Amino acid sequence: MENCDLRIGVATGEALVGSIGSEIMMSYTLMGDVVNLASRLEGANKLYGTRNPVSERTVTATGAAVAYREIDRVVVAGQTRSEVIFEILWREDELTSQQQMSRDRYLEGLIAYRAQRWDDAIRAFDASLAAMPDDGPSKALIERIERLRVNPPSLNWDGSWHIEK
């Protein structure tokens, strides 16, 4: 049996799906903002070291059976409004204590990060890493904070990160 290592991005919403074109050239495709968001989330896996980021609407639609962790608030290329994105952790009733600890400390870090309390944020992300040493989002935000210390965001910054690629 072979392992399958893949990255996905999931967004929930309305899209145009079907055969689109003229009689001369037609192709089956997807179109819409939600399709762009899903594609950008798939690409964000490299940035955050994740495998399965999902949109807030997806989290709302799935209910409480699945455990998620908020990762960030982003503005993806082609959009102007921010989206809160999450990572699928596992089934809620099967989370390990390390996963729960990492999720809780990461959320503390996100709150401090958005308030530009860099030292508090790094302490919380470090605690998340202590619980889950390979945690990509914690590593990504610690690295981002180091850049933000050198080049601080504006005073009216809402904590959103712009993903252009």
Name the domain count of the chain: 1
**Residue at 23 is within a domain:** yes
Domain containing 105: what range?
16-163
- In tens digits, the chain (165 residues) has pLDDT values of 677 778 889 899 998 888 888 888 888 888 888 989 999 999 999 999 999 999 999 999 988 888 999 999 999 888 888 999 999 988 878 889 999 999 999 999 999 999 999 999 999 999 999 999 999 999 999 999 999 999 999 888 989 999 886
Specify the amino acid at residue 108.
Answer: E
**Residue at 92 is within a domain:** yes
Q: CA–CA separation, 95 vs 65, rounded Å?
A: 11
**Residue at 6 is within a domain:** no
**Residue at 11 is within a domain:** no
**Residue at 47 is within a domain:** yes
Compute CA distances 86 → 59, 74, 114, whole Å. 8, 11, 16
DSSP-assigned letter for residue 152: P
